[in-house]
Amino acid sequence: MDFVKYNVEGHIGIITIDRPKALNALNTQVLNELDETINRIDINQIRCVIVTGGGEKAFVAGADIAAMSKMTKDEGQRFGKFGNDVMRKLEMLPIPTIAAVNGYALGGGSELAMSCDIRYCSDNAVFGMPEVSLGITPGFGGTQRLVRIVGTGMAKEMVFSAKNIKADKALEIGLVNGVTTQEELMPTVMKLAQKIASNAPIAVRNAKRAITDGFLADMDHAIMIEERCFGDCFETEDQKEAMTAFVEKRKGVEFKNR
Ligand code: DAK
């Protein structure tokens, strides 16, 4: 792979969009490689995935404008559909995902970060939805995910004005969960990923499913989704062992993902 790196550290998978000369902009090749990388993630081993950008300036500075500038309508539609499919595949990964936003996250870059469950950023990060300034609408789910994360008023202001926001504002509006220095970003996110990975993997996956699926459902249906996810955990060895350990006052349960 030329532009997407995948490293595994224990139970953590780290995806790096690594095209720093173009500020990690997403062209068809990058999206293809990201798609293949997501397909390769072994969810029996990996319990949390981190997505970040190569270099020190950008997470992802958007879809590749040079490539898009020459696209026909059909090519634009295919590009948009494929990008959307990849973002959706990332969003629907059964295990938690964290975006470590280490610089510019514009357009498709913001949309990639928003396809992750959790976002942290460095203090040099810049978020924005500049699409309308380029004559297009957000096309990788930005109009839909931003509104669900920050609410309609703020999402509409960002999308209609194409104004960028800095890390402190992103924190204030809930677009990110935390801001660190650049040096501290990966250690902070790794620590969170390890904490997630130390919990019962099937329970974490079921909790992700309950939150994601339930969020889009009406409350009666959402509660049923939660009940199913909760009930399923009682078929697992990890639940039996964790609760038995508690009753027997044993510490340090090693979860088996079974
Ligand atoms: N695409 C292509 N190349 C890019 C790029 C991008 N988005 N962003 C940066 N680069 C390249 C620059 O062209 C430059 O290349 P060279 O000239 O060195 O060859 C290199 O990266 C370094 O960039 P700069 O020299 O511009 O660096 P600066 O520090 O001066 O400025 C910047 C950084 C991030 C403010 C600036 O690069 C910038 O404004 N970049 C563009 C940001 C942007 O507007 N991004 C959003 C793109 S719109 C669709 C679905 C989705 C989308 C579209 C369609 N369908 C449904 C069809 C998504 C759209 C978007 O993401």
Q: What is the 3-state secondary structure (H, E, C) of the chain?
A: CCCEEEEEECCEEEEEECCHHHCCCECHHHHHHHHHHHHHCCCCCCCEEEEEECCCCEEECCECHHHHHCCCHHHHHHHHHHHHHHHHHHHCCCCCEEEEECCEEECHHHHHHHCCCEEEEECCCEEECCHHHHCCCCCCCHHHHHHHHHCHHHHHHHHHHCCCEEHHHHHHCCCCCEEECHHHHHHHHHHHHHHHHCCCHHHHHHHHHHHHHHHCCCHHHHHHHHHHHHHHHHHCHHHHHHHHHHHCCCCCCCCCCC
Are 187 and 206 in a shared domain? no
Does any domain span residue 255?
A: no
Does any domain span residue 257?
A: no
pLDDT digits 0-9 by tens, 108-160: 999 999 999 999 999 999 999 999 999 999 989 999 999 999 999 999 999 99
Domain interval for residue 209 = 201-247
pLDDT of residue 72: 92
192 token code pair: 């969170």
Are 26 and 136 in a shared domain? yes
**In the block, residue with structure tokens 């500075």:** 61
Does any domain span residue 162?
A: yes
Distance, CA of 145 to CA of 137 (rounded, Å): 14
Does any domain span residue 43?
A: yes
For residue 216, pLDDT over 90 is answered with: no
pLDDT of residue 139: 87
Are 181 and 218 in a shared domain? no
Are 85 and 209 in a shared domain? no
Q: Does the CB atom of residue 140 touch ligand 1 within 6 A? A: yes
Q: C-alpha distances in angstroms, 208 versus 62, 120, 201, 215, 227?
A: 27, 18, 11, 11, 13
Provide the domain count of the chain.
2
Are 186 and 234 in a shared domain? no
Which atom of ligand 1 is least distant from the CA of 64?
A: 1
* Whether residue 183 lies in the annotated active site: no
Mean pLDDT of 81-93: 96
Protein residue with least CA distance to atom 20, ligand 1: 22
Are 186 and 210 in a shared domain? no
Q: Ligand 1 centre and the CA of 130: distance in Å?
A: 10
pLDDT of residue 169: 98
Reported as a pLDDT band with limits 50, 70 and 90, residue 107 is very high
Does any domain span residue 30?
A: yes
Determine which one of 36, 56, 131, 237 is catalytic.
Answer: 131
Q: Does the CB atom of residue 83 touch ligand 1 within 6 A? A: yes
Does any domain span residue 50?
A: yes
103 token code pair: 């610089």
Are 99 and 222 in a shared domain? no
pLDDT digits 0-9 by tens, 7-49: 999 999 999 999 999 999 999 999 999 999 999 999 999 999 9
| CATH number of residue 86's parent domain | 3.90.226.10
Question: Cα-flanking dihedrals φ and ψ of residue 16, to 5°?
Answer: -120, 120
